[in-house]
Amino acid sequence: MTGTLLCPLSELAELGTKSFTAGSGPWPLRGFLVRKGRDVFAYLNRCPHAGHPLNMRPDEFLTAERTHLMCRSHGAVFDIATGECLAGPCAGRFLQRLPIRVVDGYVILDGDADELAAQYA
């Protein structure tokens, strides 16, 4: 099975987020990880409202209360586990989930990063 090492799980706080770039070429896959306890999720770093990256500062994707994900462009708020927009200009739409697995303490992107980047270009 193909895969790309994204980071050691230990680089993610128990409730933490981390952006990543995977693949080669001028349009790599840009995503982010969010860990909530034992669960880790990965999403494309593209807001369903206007297509902007969600974060303005590196690795900052959570609301001030750290209960939800947030897009800094126009304030859309998303559920951590499902990526559903719960409030804001794209309510009811979803962040694009990316396939990952955690193996031996490492977060791995499942599949070919360049193919995923092309799929979501």
Q: Residues in the site for ligand FES, rule: CB under 6 A?
A: 47, 49-50, 52, 71, 73-74, 76, 88-89
91 or 102: CB nearest ligand FES = 91
Helix (H, G, I), strand (E, B) or coil at 93: coil
Angle at 77 between CA 41 and CA 11, to 5 degrees: 35
Q: Give least dist CB 92 to ligand FES, A.
A: 13
For the chain, the first-to-last Cα distance in angstroms comes to 23
- Residue whose CB is less far from ligand FES, 75 or 99: 75
What is the smallest separation between the CB atom of 76 and ligand FES, expressed in angstroms?
4
22 close to 29: Cβ distance less than 8 angstroms: yes
Nearer to ligand FES, 96 or 110 (CB): 96
Q: Give the DSSP letter string of 58-88.
A: TT--B-TTSSSEE-TTT--EE-TTT-BEEES
Which CB sits closer to ligand FES, 87 or 103?
87
Q: How far is the CB of 65 from ligand FES (least distance, A)?
A: 18
* Spacing of C-alpha 56 from chain mean position: 14
